Amino acid sequence: MAAALQSVNDVEIDPSGIFKYVLIRVSQDDDSGAVKDIVRGWASAEYHADIYDQVSASIEKLGLHCECQGGGRINHNSAKKKITVYGYSMGFGRADHEITTAILKSRYPDYSVTWTNEGY
């Protein structure tokens, strides 16, 4: 992977709470085929699109391309070391929570990370 793609953090979420998140596929604007899925979420975002708009602007400044793969919600309980991924985005649809969970598990290996398609 190119340095720009490697420089993008896999996960940037709030340290605790319940908040919206988006799953974003980042790729190089060339024929290399290099891609990376990232998770972004924070409570300050009123809409999933607010998260995507902010993240996509910073990623595109690196010369990379991004595409939202969907969204949902994250319940991050740092005290109990537990993360639950669930729900969907009205604008982007449901993210593949299995992919999101795998990314979160690599960032939080000592956490219990689970997902469900229930809830909004």
Listing DSSP states for 27-93 in one string gives: EESSTT--EEEEEEE-TT-SSHHHHHHHHHHHHHTTTEEEEEEEEEEEEEETTTTEEEEE--BTTTB
As a whole number of Å, the CA-based R_g of the chain is 14
What is the set of active-site residues?
Answer: 48
- Contacts of residue 56, Cβ cutoff 8 Å, sequence gap at least 6: 24, 66, 68
